[in-house]
Structure 1
């Protein structure tokens, strides 16, 4: 019992013990059971792994677990949610130093995040200077100032995190634009190569007709020597 918490909290934890259940025979058995269940239900795809199958104990670990009912689960001691939301400052008993989302953009006033961030940055510098002064004169009174600095940092970080959806959207737009530009550049390069090949073929065709009329041969040392060599190669 004492070793299990250490394994969960370890930086490099060992693999879970049920990895030994993933043998070729067990994998083949569970696939056969899924196919039988899918055929009985009339389902075309049996590889989803979400079919409700009564499995023997040796195969239960091969079945993907269902989603948690409360939307939360723990991995290595950390808590995660199915719906990733920005936590509210009130949940951690942190003082809010800027308006709530419901109180913003009221009375015709626009909520300027850049201005709020500048104010918080100036407050951080001022409170840090006050903290250094208290540590030099009265260290016992520095605890309240440390709490103020903590609230300022958390509010600053929280306001920056509100930009994450906008950052993700702009990153996606930039990635799609770069892909579009690359595709257009490749298309233009293909068209240029096609036009160059057509001009060369037209030049070869015109030179061939003129030579047939005049009864002369193309000179390899002339201005169309490369075309003459290409045309000779094609004719051979």
Structure 2
């Protein structure tokens, strides 16, 4: 029997060590990768130098470039396989008893499938079965296995029905996030508009001031060289308390 691949064993362990290519992330390699990106951008006449073709890089620099998206939509991390599309598996495929109709049989004969009502019924059934389990355990613990199976099926159906709300929750969360960003932008715009109007009023008020100091000199009074600045400052303080 052939020995397993050490890299696969390390990736599947509970506490895997760092990947071996971490040693490639040195200041010299990073600087060299940056220079290669800039050379490629200059040769191709593009401004974006953030990406570079992997086949054009030396082997010790390829790990510094982020990998491409998996073509088949699946990838493996620490021994676990993940997929881009993660549909909710049906209850029938998991060998659990279904306690509510499947999606293709819902909303028939003019009856709307109310998830909230089904969840309330499942919650009440859980409480009742738990009380029955306590009674069975106090009398005959060996006969508790069927009741434990019933409670398990109730929990699985409850959890499955809640997971059907996940797409709706994601859409509502995105709508709420976009609405909050829109409200914040509108508030900032209104604040800028208010400051603009306030500054315009101040400037109009300053433009209406008429200070004829030459006339005061003709009357024999000594003009104050700082009078204009003082009156301007007082006008500003009145407009902006």
The reply to whether TM is greater than 0.5 is yes
Q: Name 2:12's counterpart in structure 1.
A: 8
What does 1:184-223 align with in structure 2 at a 5 Å threshold?
A: 184-206=186-208, 208-209=209-210, 211-212=211-212
Kindly indicate whether the alpha-carbon contact (under 8 Å) linking 1:131 and 1:142 is maintained by their aligned counterparts in 2. Answer: yes
Please give the root-mean-square deviation of Cα atoms over the aligned residues, in Å. 3.8
Q: CA 1:32 to 1:180, structure 2 compared with 1: closer, same or farther past 3 Å?
A: closer
Task: Choose which of 47, 53, 56 in structure 1 pairs with 2:55.
Answer: 53
Task: Choose which of 174, 178, 196 in structure 2 pairs with 1:172.
Answer: 174
Q: Name 2:164's counterpart in structure 1.
A: 162
Which segment drifts farther, 152-161 or 187-196? 187-196
Kindly indicate whether the alpha-carbon contact (under 8 Å) linking 1:204 and 1:228 is maintained by their aligned counterparts in 2. Answer: no
> Structure 1 residue 109 and structure 2 residue 111: aligned?
yes
Task: Tell me the matched-pair count.
Answer: 218
Q: Name 1:228's counterpart in structure 2.
A: 231
Kindly indicate whether the alpha-carbon contact (under 8 Å) linking 2:206 and 2:232 is maintained by their aligned counterparts in 1. Answer: no
Structure 2's unaligned 5+ residue stretches are: 217-227, 237-241
> Structure 1 residue 145 and structure 2 residue 141: aligned?
no
Q: CA 1:24 to 1:192, structure 2 compared with 1: closer, same or farther past 3 Å?
A: closer
> Structure 1 residue 19 and structure 2 residue 22: aligned?
yes
Kindly indicate whether the alpha-carbon contact (under 8 Å) linking 1:73 and 1:79 is maintained by their aligned counterparts in 2. Answer: yes
Task: Choose which of 128, 133, 136 in structure 1 pairs with 2:135.
Answer: 133
Q: CA 1:81 to 1:35, structure 2 compared with 1: closer, same or farther past 3 Å?
A: farther
Kindly indicate whether the alpha-carbon contact (under 8 Å) linking 2:54 and 2:62 is maintained by their aligned counterparts in 1. Answer: no
Please, what TM-score do these two structures have when normalized by structure 1? 0.73
